[in-house]
Amino acid sequence: MGEKLGSNHMQPLVMMSSFPPRLCGIGTFAEEALEFIHKAIPDRPIAVVTHTDCVDGTHSEYALHPVIDMSRADWHVPVAEKLHELNPYAVHIEHEYGLYNYVDEHGNGDFNAGFLKLLDAIRDLPVIIEPHTVHGRMFPEELEFIQRVAERCNVLLFKCDYQKWRLEWVLAQQSAPIPQNITIVPHGARPDRRYDPYRIDQIKEELGLGDLIGKRLAGLVGWIQNNKRWDIATNVWPEVAELIKIQTGEEWCLFAAGAMRDPNHLQDFEYYVSELRRLEEAGLARFYEFIPRGERYYKVMALCDFVILPTLDETQSGTLARIIALNKPYITTAPLEGLTAQTVESEGGLLFTNRETLKRRILRLATNEELRWHLGEKLKRYLNTRVSWHLIAQKYVKCYELARESCREKVIVRCPSEFSSDGSAQCALPMDSVV
């Protein structure tokens, strides 16, 4: 599409997200994504259209436009005006239902109706949408929403292949049109946060955890929410720790580190922490409270010999992205959408389905250093060849160009189906270069 016709003006890439400084996974995701997008297109200015409460002045390299005011029903009107005013090279929207859900004075949400109105108002712009919640089994309203979003953007990014082929199968059963503009761009992971093993004791001292030097740590790291179910791990830990000691003679510590993000989860947070304090008194655990963001997040994760990631409702996980970045062997819940998908793809983690399998997986990792090394090497390969932010940023840039071409030529981006029955899927544009 080139820059704006007849002009040499360098148009900005515009990202729309809850960034900065909200304590939310989408804001943290956007922070890392923008860092590597900027490295991929260093000469192009970047602007961020964000919420009215998301300004702290710490990211002066981006032009911040806090115009998303979710207290007003027509919040989309000034946002559309701002996007047109910015004359964007492309608009990259990070989507989570809660970010764009207007709630009226009676507590009724509009299920992102305003978001769809925004998309209608910016149809003349090249738009890429990256939804962070795409369940395999959608509620009817979720399915309809995804269909409507796909119709209104140039490129729709899913994180995992299963999301796309499941959607295609469901729509085919309903004889409904299947969106053709969906491609897969995985959750990125940093390639530059692998710490030398000889630095671990130094990092423990730096974080005020010198008493953990020399101890083996099984980690529970991240935001503490009721869907993360830390109690699953604390419940089995005393029994497993005793079995580990019997088999290896080693005393392992359950290292739980994180903080509460959502005040609605206060009761669960207090329960999880009380269980950890009980284990601390018995010398079996250590609770370390910190905000899971920035480099400290990686340093805390680096202390763990392996990580336990129990959760009940995730499609993708920023915590898992950090586990992959650090090449830490891990254990997570199955079957659970994106977590299971990435575990199968990377071959770098173990899956559990109930209390007994969780105990067995913890015991297996704690008593087998060779297995921990083997899984870590698998994650290193997966990071370097599949999900490094450097690779993901390049995929984004190709999607921007496709969206611009689609806008200029007024054609639909057609992406081949992963499970096309005849293998003859056609692209109006060279989308297979992205995937």
Contacts of 421 (CB under 8 A, 6+ apart): none
Task: Give me the residues paired with residue 100 across strands.
Answer: none
Q: What confidence score (pLDDT) does residue 429 get?
A: 47
364-413 pLDDT, tens digit per residue, is: 999 999 999 999 999 999 999 999 999 999 999 999 999 999 999 999 99
> At 408, is the secondary structure helix, strand, or coil?
helix
Tell me phi and psi for residue 354, to 5 degrees.
Answer: -160, -175
Evaluate the omega torsion of the peptide bond into residue 21 and state whether it is cis, within 30 degrees of 0: yes
Total Cβ atoms within 10 A of residue 372? 17
Q: Strand pairing partners for 288? A: 257
Q: pLDDT tens-digit profile of 157-181?
A: 999 999 999 999 999 999 999 999 9
Q: Where are the alpha helices (DSSP H) in 249-327?
A: 266-281, 294-302, 318-325
pLDDT score recorded for residue 430: 47
Cβ–Cβ < 8 Å for 147, 180: no
Residue-level pLDDT at 431: 41
Whether the ω angle into residue 45 lies within 30 degrees of 0, i.e. cis, is no
Maximum Cα interatomic distance, the chain, rounded to a whole number of Å:
75
Q: What is the pTM of this model?
A: 0.92
**Burial per residue of 303-336, b for 16 or more beta-carbon CB atoms within 10 angstroms, e otherwise:** bbbbbbbbbeebbbbbbbbbbbbbbbbbbbbbeb
Cβ–Cβ under 8 Å, residues 391 and 269:
no
Instruction: Specify the amino acid at residue 299.
Output: K
C-alpha of 336 from chain center: 14
**Closest listed residue to residue 163, CA positions, set 182, 187, 148:** 182
Residue 19: phi, psi to the nearest 5?
A: -150, 140
Q: How far apart are CA 428 and CA 210, in angstroms?
A: 59
d(CA 303, CA 216): 9
Stated as kind and residue range, the H or E segment containing 141 is helix 140-152
Cα gap 37→46, rounded to integer Å: 9
Could you tell me the two tokens for 226?
A: 């009721």
Q: Which residue has the tokens 């729509």?
A: 171
Q: What is the chain's Cα-based Rg?
A: 23
- The rounded distance, in Å, linking the Cα atoms of 123 and 384 is 36
Alpha helices in 189-265, H assignment, sequence order: 200-206, 230-248
Q: Please list the alpha-helical segments (H only) found in 282-388.
A: 294-302, 318-325, 337-346, 355-366, 369-382
**Is 234 in a helix, a strand, or coil?**
helix
- How far is residue 391's CA from residue 376's CA, in Å, rounded to a whole number? 20
Say how far apart CA 422 and CA 417 lie, in whole Å.
Answer: 10
User: From start to end of 144-284, where are the E strands?
Assistant: 155-158, 182-184, 216-224, 252-260
User: Phi first, then psi: what are they for 109, rounded to 5°?
Assistant: -90, 160
Whether 311 contacts 332, CB under 8 Å: yes
| pLDDT, tens digit only, all 435 positions of the chain | 456 533 447 999 999 999 876 778 898 899 999 999 999 999 999 999 999 988 665 556 899 999 999 999 999 999 999 999 999 999 999 999 999 999 999 999 999 999 999 999 999 999 999 999 998 889 999 999 999 999 999 999 999 999 999 999 999 999 999 999 999 999 999 999 999 999 999 999 999 999 999 999 999 999 998 888 899 999 999 999 999 999 999 999 999 999 998 888 899 999 999 999 999 999 999 999 999 988 999 999 999 999 999 988 766 689 999 999 999 999 999 988 899 999 999 999 999 999 999 999 999 999 999 999 999 999 999 999 999 999 999 999 999 999 999 999 999 999 877 655 543 333 454 444 444
Q: How far apart are CA 71 and CA 68, in angstroms?
A: 9
β-sheet bridge partners, residue 258: 222, 289
- Under 8 Å CB-to-CB from 250, ≥6 apart: which residues? 216, 244, 366
Domains and CATH numbers, the chain: 13-188+392-433 (3.40.50.2000), 197-387 (3.40.50.2000)
Query: Is 275 within 8 Å of 297 (Cβ atoms)?
Result: no
- Identify any residues that bridge with 289 across adjacent strands, giving them in sequence order: 258
Q: What is the pLDDT of residue 25?
A: 85
